[in-house]
């Protein structure tokens, strides 16, 4: 009928339910990893969401998740982004199914889905990012260098607008995933359960004895007991710097506190660089896990 035809022509604003559908599609894809790494694309997608957001500079208001500039060279080729083509290509499949979503919304939503599906805390999220152009790419050097110390971590994360407590809460995400010698040069996972979100990163940091790995690769630490786990110099600094250590110990002792603080800090990270008037909802949404939707 004419009414149906005109309805089809109207471009409706996607609803929370539409984004929940995208979340669900992403969640299923994360699980289709089989032989890849530890059997999940979750960790690499969390890293994609973070690297898309962590270029933010509060002084100039540039960078952040708004324009999804990692789609363009040279940002896609920045050494810090090595290996993230894996996440970007996975998300391309989702984009084909939901062409109306912006890349910035898609990548950040994927980070949320990955954390929630890997048993992490709920991450409040809302859409509104728009696709930018190649001239919006950020300069190299805005993402952290894992070989450095506390001063560098502060320089990088204060530039984004985070404080010491938020920095330490964020770094607990290294409970997930692993380093790849062909991407960053570093090698190995931080925890024994790299596809489950836990506070094990902090527990291991304090409970294990960490020694420098003897190898030709970049300086990293390994646990003395098994030699199978790793810490980056920037991770180990959380046990050395007085202010960082206080928070890291609190998160080692209290998983609920870590989940609460991580959720707030990661939600903040994902919104960096997005003008508030662009968001379609005044408050971020809580999307449901696949498991919750079964009930």
From 25-33, 101-109, 183-191, 276-284, span contacting ligand HIF (CB under 6 A): 183-191
DSSP secondary-structure letter at 88? H
Q: What is the 3-state composition of the chain as percent helix, strand, coil, each rounded to the nearest 5? A: 50, 5, 45
Q: Measured from the CB of residue 6, what is the shortest distance to ligand HIF in angstroms? A: 46
Q: Is 174 in the site for ligand HIF (CB under 6 A)?
A: yes
**Is residue 65 a contact partner of residue 53, using CB atoms and an 8 Å limit?**
yes
From 24-32, 102-110, 182-190, 239-247, span contacting ligand HIF (CB under 6 A): 182-190
From 177-185, 222-230, 241-249, 287-295, span contacting ligand HIF (CB under 6 A): 177-185
Q: Report the residue number, 170 or 229, with the smaller CB distance to ligand HIF.
A: 170
Strands lying side by side in the sheet with 210-212: 210-212, 221-223, 230-231
Q: Report the residue number, 30 or 232, with the smaller CB distance to ligand HIF.
A: 232
51 catalytic per annotation: yes
Distances (CA, A) of 168 to 158, 228, 238, 251: 12, 23, 7, 9
DSSP secondary-structure letter at 15? -
190 catalytic per annotation: yes
38's CB contacts (< 8 A; 6+ apart) are: 177, 178, 189, 194, 195
Cis peptide, bond prior to residue 164, ω within 30 of zero: no
212 three-class SS = strand
Q: Measured from the CB of residue 164, what is the shortest distance to ligand HIF in angstroms? A: 12
**Is residue 51 a contact partner of residue 84, using CB atoms and an 8 Å limit?**
yes
Q: Is 153 in the site for ligand HIF (CB under 6 A)?
A: yes
Instruction: Give the closest residue to 223 by CA, choosing from 233, 234, 212.
Output: 212
Q: Report the residue number, 22 or 84, with the smaller CB distance to ligand HIF.
A: 84
x-marked contacts with ligand HIF along 9-48 as a string, rule CB under 6 A: ----------------------------------xx-xx-
Q: Is 218 in the site for ligand HIF (CB under 6 A)?
A: no
Q: Measured from the CB of residue 18, what is the shortest distance to ligand HIF in angstroms? A: 26
Residues that bind ligand HIF (CB under 6 A): 43-44, 46-47, 50, 83, 144, 146, 153, 170-171, 173-174, 176-180, 183-184, 186, 232, 234
Return the active site residues: 51, 190
């Amino acid at each position: 009928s004419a009414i149906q035809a005109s309805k089809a022509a109207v471009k409706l604003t996607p609803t929370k339910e539409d984004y929940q559908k995208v979340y669900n599609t992403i969640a299923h894809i994360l699980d289709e990893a089989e032989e890849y790494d530890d059997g999940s694309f979750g960790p690499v997608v969390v890293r994609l969401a973070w690297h898309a957001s962590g270029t933010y500079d509060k002084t100039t208001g540039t960078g952040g998740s708004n324009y999804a500039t990692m789609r363009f060279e040279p940002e896609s080729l920045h050494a810090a982004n090595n290996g993230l083509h894996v996440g970007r290509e996975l998300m391309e499949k989702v984009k084909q199914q939901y062409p109306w979503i912006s890349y910035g919304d898609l990548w950040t939503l994927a980070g949320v889905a990955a954390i929630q599906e890997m048993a992490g805390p709920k991450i409040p999220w809302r859409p509104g990012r728009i696709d930018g152009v190649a001239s919006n790419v950020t300069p190299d050097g805005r993402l952290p260098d894992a070989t450095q110390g506390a001063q560098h971590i502060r320089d990088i994360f204060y530039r984004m607008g985070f404080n010491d407590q938020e920095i330490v809460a964020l770094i607990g995400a290294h409970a997930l995933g692993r380093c790849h010698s062909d991407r960053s040069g570093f090698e190995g996972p931080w925890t024994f359960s790299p596809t489950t979100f836990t506070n094990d990163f902090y527990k291991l940091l304090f409970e294990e004895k960490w020694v420098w790995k003897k190898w030709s690769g970049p300086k990293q630490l390994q646990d003395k007991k098994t030699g199978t786990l790793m810490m980056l110099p920037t991770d180990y600094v959380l046990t050395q710097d007085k202010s960082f250590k206080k928070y890291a110990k609190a998160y080692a002792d209290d998983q609920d506190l870590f989940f609460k603080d991580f959720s707030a800090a990661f939600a903040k990270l994902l919104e960096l660089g997005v003008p508030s008037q662009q968001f379609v909802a005044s408050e971020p949404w809580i999307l449901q896990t696949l498991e919750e939707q079964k009930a």
